[in-house]
Amino acid sequence: MATWLERMAWDLAFAQRAERTQKVYLADVQAFIAFHGKSLEDLGQEAVRVWIEHLIAAGTSPSRLRQHMSALVWLYRKTLGKPEAVSFFSWPKDPLLLPVVLSVEEVASLLEAVPSATYRMLFCTMYATGMRISEACQLQVKDLDSTRGVLRVLGKGSRERQVALRDSLLETLRTYWREMRPEPPWLFTGRLGNPLHPDQARKVFKEAVTVTGLIKRATPHALRHTYATLLLEQGTDLRVIQTLLGHKTIRSTERYLHVSTHLIHATPDLLGLLPP
């Protein structure tokens, strides 16, 4: 007879949740049970409340708290069929922070500071296409359609989308392929021939940020923010940007309106309207 952990793992895999999501959910539920030191059958809504209160008191960030809560929702609703245990949940919100956007010069400096040609090409591709780091690490050669000038991206929830494969990116990728010879079918591989891992890529990017002395809180995701903002400033329609980024709703895309310097500077100079 399967344990609850095995059943939950099967449920997550059956729903085709991302591998990272599966690991986080299972680890969070195990931490919840270890905290109480009891069997799962003895843990109901009151135990869930105590756990959430503990996480809040420990200073858990809103985003991390949502992960813990999502893991419990999956456990009680999907695996155990006891939705009443998590029916009281209200989802915490993040403080409203604007996306970190880099200048073209800052992007160039960061790419130059990456010593590995493979990681440099990975980040260059992210900047040119707006892909998430997890999406870029899983790129395969067959995803490049040079005839149509598009690049196929497998995004969250296994949703496919296409982005433009410009000649400049295509030629750079071809040069990279000839020199580095990544292990097929992957486009970006490490020493063992496996696709690059997002966590290791984040470490490489962080080191490049340190080397350049950049004071912005930049992560690889800033390349995606920069891509979207530059498209907006070049006049690309917001709906088109939404599609290119793979956003479910336009609200996720609209936040780039708040960081576009072109749009900000296009507003009138009210002080100049005053008489001398």
- Domain with 189 in it: what CATH number? 1.10.443.10
Residue 62 clears pLDDT 60, i.e. is over it = yes
Burial of 139 (0-12, 13-18, 19+ CB in 10 A): buried
Does residue 189 fall inside a structural domain? Answer: yes
Does residue 72 fall inside a structural domain? Answer: yes
The residues carrying an active-site annotation are 132, 156, 221, 224, 247, 256
Quote the pLDDT of residue 101: 93
Residue 276 clears pLDDT 80, i.e. is over it = no
Residue 1 clears pLDDT 60, i.e. is over it = no
Predicted confidence (pLDDT) per residue in 63-92, tens digit: 899 999 999 999 999 999 999 999 999 988
Residues 140 and 239 in one domain: yes
User: Using CA atoms, how far apart are residues 74 and 69, in angstroms rounded to an integer?
Assistant: 9
Residue 259 clears pLDDT 70, i.e. is over it = yes
User: Using CA atoms, how far apart are residues 163 and 146, in angstroms rounded to an integer?
Assistant: 12
Quote the pLDDT of residue 117: 96
Please give the C-alpha separations between residue 130 and each of 4, 29, 61, 122, 265, in angstroms, as whole numbers. 39, 33, 26, 12, 24
Quote the pLDDT of residue 2: 63
Residues 36 and 151 in one domain: no
Question: How large a percentage of the chain has pLDDT more than 90?
Answer: 75
Residues 47 and 166 in one domain: no
Tell me the residue range of the domain where 245 lies.
104-263
Average pLDDT over residues 187-210: 95
Q: What is the CATH number of the domain that holds 25?
A: 1.10.150.130
Whole-prediction pTM: 0.74
